[in-house]
Amino acid sequence: MAERSPSGTKDVDPDIQAYRDRLTLRSDEVWWRDHQVWLAERGYMLRPRYRPGWAPSWKDTGKRWVDFEDGLQLKHRAVMDATRLSDGETVVLKRFSRATNGLEGPITMFLASEPAKSHPKNHCTPIYELFDVPGEEFSLFVMPVLDNFFVPRFETVGEVLECFRQIFEGLQFLHNCRIAHRDLMVYNIMVDSKDMWPEPYHVMAPDMNRSFTAEVKKPFTRTARPPKYHIIDFGLSRQYPADNLNPTESIPEGGDRTVPEFSNGLGPVVHDPFAVDIYCVGNVIQNYILKPYTGCEFLQPLVDAMREPDPQKRLKIDQVVEQYNKILKSRWWWQLRARVLLKDDGRWLDERIADYIRQLFNTMGHILTFKSALPKPRK
């Protein structure tokens, strides 16, 4: 029978407790530590936690790991932040298997190389470098730091519309290249928001500055500093021959498990991968814009058409873009500058009033400085 502590709870194995307290590396972190020296030679320095000989800086201080940078663990086993030694810029390293994700490298590099790289409608994640890990099946992408597209939160209708104008434009570019993403769930739509922040934030703790010495100042609005949105992660993607206009195949489930083609209870079925992309983006808008916010209800008919259960009746990307452009042209400037509000705000009345006044002054400033109500990023 397991011994119990005086409080009546089961005693925890010291090794397990050390693991929970982040005093030891998880198994998925060990790989990065073991490759730290090699990565430094390639020009990328990992955080102290992942360097050989690391010891927790908070141990024996009486403080908790949350106050120390080396207490921050990975959010995803295949994704690591690093400092590029040539210029001190923070970048992201993504590891992928050439054996199980054999097409991810070629498709990603096709999109990140000329002439696709310079195409004005290309909204795929930029790639700084791709290299193989010696003696292993893995390769690494070096990418910029990106964030979830809904962080920080939207403030105006125009900000929301510009976000998905870019995403639809990017998806149209992919489909015109005969590339189906096949996993366009919410976390594969990202934003490059670095210009919005007065100072760089820490990748693993966005409320802290990069040096982990203080909280970051509040960001500028998307209207004041328009960001660019990106489509990422081509691990399930496929590129089809130009003469294969209507490809159908059995596709593994991606992150969005509500796709009607996947939820029929029959297991993998043959279907149109381009139609899956349309459904997934429509579902992102439904769940992350229309459900949590008020102010964009006019998008509902388009979203419903994108989420049509019958893939044969679902809109094609050119139809989506055409209808979306009509929506953009139908909105007056004052409608674009209207606030989008969280339905479940959770804040006290005085906080909401203060936020309203802040945004009112922001809007006046945007108008006086000729900031577009549909904030497009600089070329």
The CATH number of residue 132's host domain is 3.30.200.20
In a domain, 218, yes or no: yes
pLDDT at 160: 98
231 vs 153, residue with greater confidence: 231
The residue with tokens 């090699």 is 38
pTM greater than the 0.85 cutoff: yes
| 204 shares a domain with 104 | no
CB burial of 279-289 (b: ≥16 within 10 Å; e: otherwise) equals: bbbbbbbbebb
| 334 shares a domain with 274 | yes
What's the rounded mean pLDDT across residues 64-90? Answer: 94
pLDDT confidence tier of residue 12, bands split at 50, 70 and 90: low
**Contact present, 335 and 291 (Cβ < 8 Å):** no
Q: Per-residue pLDDT for 6 more than 50?
A: no
In a domain, 86, yes or no: yes
359 vs 268, residue with greater confidence: 359
Query: Is the CA virtual torsion 39, 44, 48, 50 positive or negative?
Result: negative
Domain membership of residue 316 as a residue range: 147-368
**CATH number reported for the structural domain that contains residue 277 in this entry:** 1.10.510.10
**Contact present, 303 and 285 (Cβ < 8 Å):** yes
110 exposure class (CB count in 10 Å sphere: 0-12, 13-18, 19+): middle
User: What length is written for the chain?
Assistant: 379
Q: Per-residue pLDDT for 242 more than 70?
A: yes
In a domain, 378, yes or no: no
Query: Is the CA virtual torsion 243, 249, 253, 256 positive or negative?
Result: positive
| 174 shares a domain with 106 | no
| 287 shares a domain with 248 | yes
Least confident of 5-19, 284-298, 300-314: 5-19
**Contact present, 298 and 332 (Cβ < 8 Å):** no
In a domain, 101, yes or no: yes
**Contact present, 75 and 204 (Cβ < 8 Å):** yes
pLDDT confidence tier of residue 249, bands split at 50, 70 and 90: confident
Q: Per-residue pLDDT for 331 more than 50?
A: yes
Q: Per-residue pLDDT for 86 more than 70?
A: yes
**Cis peptide leading into residue 144 (ω within 30°):** no
In a domain, 331, yes or no: yes
* Helices 273-285, 157-176: inter-axial angle, 10-degree rounding: 170
In a domain, 18, yes or no: no
Number of domains in the chain: 2
CA distance 150 to 160: 9
What's the rounded mean pLDDT across residues 292-314? Answer: 96
| 354 shares a domain with 216 | yes
pLDDT at 329: 96
CA distance 38 to 49: 16
pLDDT confidence tier of residue 14, bands split at 50, 70 and 90: low
Least confident of 20-34, 169-183, 358-372: 358-372
In a domain, 373, yes or no: no
Least confident of 6-15, 99-108, 287-296, 362-371: 6-15
Domain end point (choices 116, 144, 172): 144
**Contact present, 305 and 124 (Cβ < 8 Å):** no
pLDDT confidence tier of residue 9, bands split at 50, 70 and 90: very low
In a domain, 214, yes or no: yes
Token output for 41: 């030679």
